[in-house]
Amino acid sequence: MAEDQIIAIFTIMIQIHHKYSLKDLNSFGLDARAASFARPGNLEALREVLALPDYHHMPLLVLGAGSNILFRDDFEGLVLQPGMKGIEIVEESGNELVIKVGASENWDSWVAHATERAWYGLENLSLIPGSVGSAPVQNIGAYGMELQECFEWLDAWDLQEKKLVRLKHETCDFGYRSSIFKGKARGRYIITHVAFRLNRVPDLKLDYGNVQSEFKKAKGSTPMDLRKVVIGIRSSKLPDPELHGNAGSFFKNPLVDRTIFSCIRVEYPDVPYYPSDGNQMKIPAAWLIEKSGWKGKRIGNVGTWPSQALVIVNYGGANGHEIYDFSEKIMEDVEGIFGITLEREVNVI
């Protein structure tokens, strides 16, 4: 093959875009631009992009489906969106299966695919926006379950060692909305595939909030019924990012010392809480925000969602700074009223 032909194939495989708009690639709908952008669909393409000398000293941002990110400005570097697809059973024993899924598969389509095939365990995590590759980064969780409960391992490109590695559960250091990928290994790995351990025997988790009562009301009995109930609850409370730009929960639920919790309880006997390990209690940030007077409040084109105060919405045309400043004001008030510092859950760029 002539050299010019090889260069042509090389170029087609990589497709690097410059000054690329990320508007359709972040769920806030912010019109930030990436100096360079590429979506490698396989490991070879990924390696080729990373090997290009232009990108050796540029800041790198790995973007999933952009559903947990706030761009305040353009990104003056290379944005890489892994494009690996595919769903493959890699292990089966008894009722258990291990299934390897490409990082760019849509999270909820994967949950639907698994539930339809009677591969159970993911039902409570239905309708969470985002991609499969991003799910372990923040250990996504909802309705009494976290990703780590069915996580087996993941494959990732190690930018430090320049090789593909397989990271098992124990290496990932999962916690509440956290993992090694948000902590000490931040920026080190590009996740290409995630493997899940699922089961052919249903094990319905109905304990969270009104899941049980909604399940009964719907006369539910199967995991698919549970998936539908979770979708119903989510849809009734949370804004659809297609209609109202948002990134789900903007803050984490804070852990507070029991002494502080007791003081709050004196004034607010109905304060909700989640049991937690040690000497701490987890209070819903949504409640703190609501009690600070921010539920449904709007400044210009930014506001909190009227039925879930933890979600900040771009009602159209807001920029990243406006959203960030809005969140700062909420934090100041919660700090002033309760003495509790909220931590952002979204990744601020």
Contact flag: residue 310 with ligand EPU (CB under 6 A): yes
Contact flag: residue 175 with ligand EPU (CB under 6 A): no
What gap in Å lies between CA 227 and CA 323, rounded to an integer? 32
Q: Contact, 345 vs 251, CB < 8 A?
A: yes
Residues forming a β-bridge with 274: 282
- 308 secondary structure, DSSP code: E
Contact flag: residue 308 with ligand EPU (CB under 6 A): yes
What is the number of the residue whose Cβ is closest to ligand EPU? Answer: 248
What gap in Å lies between CA 244 and CA 314, rounded to an integer? 6
Contact flag: residue 150 with ligand EPU (CB under 6 A): no
Contact flag: residue 287 with ligand EPU (CB under 6 A): yes
Residue 91 falls in the annotated catalytic set: no
Contact flag: residue 254 with ligand EPU (CB under 6 A): no
Contact flag: residue 345 with ligand EPU (CB under 6 A): yes
Based on CB atoms, which residue is closest to ligand EPU, 125 or 167? 125
Contact flag: residue 147 with ligand EPU (CB under 6 A): no
CA 297 and chain centroid, separation: 25
Residue 242 falls in the annotated catalytic set: no
Helix, strand, coil percentages for the chain (3-state, nearest 5)? 30, 30, 40
Residue 104 exposed, middle or buried by CB count within 10 Å (0-12, 13-18, 19+): buried
Catalytic residue among 123, 152, 214, 345: 345
Extract the tokens encoding 111.
Answer: 């949950």
Minimal distance, residue 129 CB to ligand EPU, in Å: 8
Minimal distance, residue 69 CB to ligand EPU, in Å: 12
Residue 72 falls in the annotated catalytic set: no
Contact flag: residue 253 with ligand EPU (CB under 6 A): yes
Catalytic residue among 33, 39, 177, 227: 177
Residue of the chain from 86, 187, 272, 317 that contacts ligand EPU (CB under 6 A): 272
Q: Which of 239, 245, 250, 243 is CA-nearest to residue 326?
A: 250
Contact flag: residue 206 with ligand EPU (CB under 6 A): no
Extract the tokens encoding 178.
Answer: 């956290």
Rg (CA), the chain: 21
Which residues bind to ligand EPU, rule: CB under 6 A? 142-143, 208-209, 237, 248-249, 252-253, 272, 284, 286-287, 290, 295, 308-310, 345
